[in-house]
Structure 1
Amino acid sequence: MRLLQSNEDVNDARATIFRALGDPNRLRIFQTLAEADEPLNVTAICDRTDLEANLVSHHLQCLKNCQPVDSERDGRQKFYEVSRSEAVEMVALADECIRQNIESILGCDIVTQTDDRVEQRSTSSRMQSGDDDD
């Protein structure tokens, strides 16, 4: 396990976990697992989130790499569950901050503009590579 040597390392690690949980689909998957009474396979996660299996699998890999989610194989299937209660607590704290500051959060133009630029770059890259679905 890599030790955090400096404030910069800590900030990088924070940014990584916030990015992992910052994607709306990953957050939906994480919340679904956090609310589940038992570990879920991809099919069960898809049923509860209305997301496609390939998208769920992709996002689960990210959540596993950042370690708020873990998996266990049972025969040919993998079952996923939240492995870090601290991550659930972090999301609950974020929910409390949102409740107290909803207008400011929804009106945060800087984050919205950054998200829009990222989406525009992503769409442009797909179009240039011929991956556009239209």
Structure 2
Amino acid sequence: MHDQPSVRELVQAVKNFVDETAMPELTGRAGFHARVASNVLGTILRDIDTRFEADASEKTRLLDLLEAPADTSLSKLNEDLRQRIRAGELTIRSDDLMRHLKMTAIDQLKVDQPNYSALKKAIEEP
């Protein structure tokens, strides 16, 4: 039985402390740094919540795009993608490449900038 707090729970506890205890007591430069710390912790939490699914989706898209064996690692798939783009084998004329790049960017924006004004529109577009 694993009864220790998860990484997510630990990060959330620190974020709660910064947001609810520290930040209200701080002004000026220290207050600014507390807001930055809170934003970083929020980014970490969103990454924890979405990384597994985003990586799995990215790998599925790359396996199809590159026609690679299912056991190819995500890092190897990305290296192969870079090489094919550099070699001119895949270009912006490839609808599948552009779809993959768009979905990868959307997944990263969900973590880095979830309130980005164009994100909702990008998600809704086919």
| TM score, norm. by length of structure 2 | 0.29
- The structure with the largest alpha-carbon Rg is 2
| TM score, norm. by length of structure 1 | 0.28
